[in-house]
Amino acid sequence: MSQEDANLEARLEEQEAFEPPESFVEQANVTDPGIYEEFEENWPACWERAADLLSWDEEYDTVLEDGDAPFYEWFTGGELNASYNCLDRHVEEGRGDSVALEWEGELGETRTYTYDELLDEVEDFAATLRDLGVEEDDVVTLYMPMVPELPIAMLACARIGAPHSVVFAGFSADALATRMNSADSEYLVTCDGYYRRGDALDHISKTNEGLEGVEHEVSDVVVVDRLGDDLDHELADNQHDYDELVADHEGSTVEPVSRDAEDMLFLMYTSGTTGQPKGVKHTTGGYLAYTAWTSRAVLDIEADDTYWCSADIGWITGHSYIVYGPLALGTTSVMYEGTPDYPDKDRLWEIVEKNEVDIFYTAPTAIRAFMKWGSEYTENHDLSSLRLLGTVGEPINPRAWKWYYKHIGDEECPIVDTWWQTETGGMMITTLPGINTMKPGSAGPPLPGVDARVVDAQGEEVDAGKAGYVTVNNPWPGMLRTLYNNDERFISEYWQEYSDEDADEWVYFPEDGAKIDEDGYITILGRVDDVINVSGHRLGTMEIESAVVGVEGIAEAAVVGGDHEVKGEAVYVYAIPEDGYEDREDELEEEAMEAVLDSIGPIAKPEEIIFTPELPKTRSGKIMRRLLEDIASGNELGNTSTLRNPEVVDDIADQVTSD
Ligand code: WT7
């Protein structure tokens, strides 16, 4: 550790609370602490404030319709178009020359789109999609990396009322097929490839492999040419080059379709407890109002800001806080294609400096990596344009928080640690940067109007300092409306645990553990289901397990998360070889790795695969996952005497620690 880091630690280590800097408060969008009470006293009408940030074609009649809870409806009777709200209205207000998207490729090339230009591109592609036969309510799958055509395609879909389903480009061919099958999606927009650490990655072969697994006919596939001569590939009969198609539709005018507030804007698949990913449905009115509102209140975004969220648009963070929220507010949203350490470890700071970024939003896993690389990478860059920092995706440890505060924010920027989920659509628990004291490691109080609590197994609120579970006891506009084609699973996944159906009291259960302090600040402890969080990405252990047991020669497997310095959690696989395969562990290991990459993708790559003749089980035959987690994390092991087979524990632990 450098001397400077040591000093910082000595000074900041003790400090547990930080006040928002005066310079920030003076200009913040939200500064009146009375907002919490106002929302509480005037609930649910308070949410009109969010709806007021949008332009409606038809005013809504009712803010919240709760007659068929938990199938809540927001802003019913209202009509609007998301692409109109993100584009046209800014142009109509005379802001067509302002920059909407500032894109940077990994190799250093840039593309800048003003609101005028982005609207043109969106109209051209909307016309293209229509011409291909896409109709209102058809689900269009977008399997695309971080190229400008991704947000363009999203907004084009929104313009014609076709919900999009974005599949993260890092996901495997199988994952693409599963999602297209589940959504009955007949249209796909994809890309020939993209750059990672300077290498051209072939994405089209993976796409084609995925398409083989689609059970219905896929009418058309549009392929963005990102790699040019760096990749040779041929297009099948139903595949079209993006630029060629769009060239035929240049200068099109496509009127934005008025959508009902409750019409689906998009689907986003996320991992759950079972092997089948869940298709989370978000709507046009509530979702857009909620992301715009939180972008304004929490991220403090204003139209003349340059704002950068370093997430991938393939995850909900990118949907809500690269595309919809920021563009609804008419700001400049930065988008970067590649990795943070290419060509060197200061790439992000170079981008901040060059674009004079005002607001930066990233994940704790990235911050831990920056910390590990050292502060010399930040020092050569002028980061003084920054006024607010944010994190999302996983708990941030106080050390990382303080490093971020000091080395990126120069102790002048508040940090918002924002807790939310794919299902919540937008932020739920976080400080308001112009109002609240910050406590590193704790996300903060629930947002105004959000009734999040920490409760025990019976649903009673726990005392300060005690661990419990997060619940949300009233609905909010950005909430998921259901799981696509699966209302039953929607209820059983989120509403069964704590609701009192007979009393018509519905409580949302996000499946996170947490603590609350005497000031009502909530510290998230992590998932309490079989979902792990690797670098801020949610992975279902069951999905990984089913991939592993699919390997011939593996009889049984258990997948758990173990602590990891940078990733937060890493994937650990414990596997039992079938009889006769015991001496072929190297082969099995290779095949199991391959199987995980094939069924999910590189983000799920196991840190270690540990072979064992038995898994530790309770007397009733349940695998002791907690114990496996402790072994993977290198924790001290508790009492193992309740196990049916305590002798296997030492054997497994030896293998993990001996590496
Ligand atoms: C899970 C949701 C929200 C977009 C990115 C992830 C964890 C999220 C925080 C935070 C502690 C957090 C939770 C949550 N999580 N934000 N600030 N502090 N944990 O979305 O893939 O739907 O995952 O991420 O465990 O349930 P997601």
Give the nearest ligand 1 atom to 396 CA: 18
- Specify if 128 maps to a domain: no
CA of 419 to the centre of ligand 1 (A): 6
Predicted structure pTM score: 0.95
Q: What is the ipTM of this complex?
A: 0.99
The first and second tokens of residue 512, run together, are: 């996170």
Place of tokens 């969106």: 122
Max intra-chain CA distance, the chain: 73
- Specify if 555 maps to a domain: yes
The span from the CA of 475 to the CA of 66, in Å, is 9
State pLDDT tens for residues 611-651: 999 999 988 888 888 899 999 999 988 888 888 888 888 88
Query: Average pLDDT over the chain, rounded to whole?
Result: 95
User: Are the C-beta atoms of residues 317 and 311 closer than 8 Å to each other?
Assistant: yes
User: Are the C-beta atoms of residues 187 and 219 closer than 8 Å to each other?
Assistant: yes
- Specify if 592 maps to a domain: yes
3-class secondary structure for 393-410?
A: CCCCCHHHHHHHHHHHCC
User: Are the C-beta atoms of residues 284 and 80 closer than 8 Å to each other?
Assistant: yes
The first and second tokens of residue 272, run together, are: 């759950």
- Specify if 476 maps to a domain: no
pLDDT of residue 654: 85
CA of 427 to the centre of ligand 1 (A): 10
- DSSP string computed for 217-228: ---EEEEE--SG
The span from the CA of 272 to the CA of 11, in Å, is 42
422 pocket-lining for ligand 1 (C-beta < 6 Å) = yes
The span from the CA of 74 to the CA of 51, in Å, is 10
The DSSP letter of residue 537 is E
Of all protein residues, the one whose alpha carbon is nearest to atom 17 of ligand 1 is 419
Give the residue numbers spanning the domain of 611: 535-657
pLDDT of residue 272: 80
- Specify if 610 maps to a domain: yes
Site to substitute for ligand 1 among 367, 493, 524, most atoms within 8 A of C-beta: 524
Place of tokens 């790795």: 593
CA of 58 to the centre of ligand 1 (A): 34
pLDDT of residue 621: 83
Neighbour tally for 202: CB within 10 Å: 16
pLDDT of residue 656: 82
The span from the CA of 13 to the CA of 398, in Å, is 8
CA of 392 to the centre of ligand 1 (A): 6
- Specify if 130 maps to a domain: no
The distance of Cα 200 from the centroid of its chain, to the nearest Å, equals: 25
CA of 513 to the centre of ligand 1 (A): 12
* Beta strand spans in 253-298 (E): 259-260, 264-270, 278-283
| The total number of structural domains that make up the chain | 1
Give the nearest ligand 1 atom to 391 CA: 17
Which residues of the chain, if any, have pLDDT below 50?
none
Q: What is the CATH number of the domain that holds 648?
A: 3.30.300.30
291 pocket-lining for ligand 1 (C-beta < 6 Å) = no
CA of 442 to the centre of ligand 1 (A): 13
Could you give the C-alpha distances from 132 to 189, 245, 366, in angstroms and in order?
12, 10, 40
- Specify if 642 maps to a domain: yes
Of all protein residues, the one whose alpha carbon is nearest to atom 8 of ligand 1 is 393
- Specify if 375 maps to a domain: no
Cα dihedral 402, 408, 410, 412 sign = negative
395 pocket-lining for ligand 1 (C-beta < 6 Å) = yes
319 pocket-lining for ligand 1 (C-beta < 6 Å) = no
420 pocket-lining for ligand 1 (C-beta < 6 Å) = yes
CA of 418 to the centre of ligand 1 (A): 8
State pLDDT tens for residues 390-406: 999 999 999 999 999 99
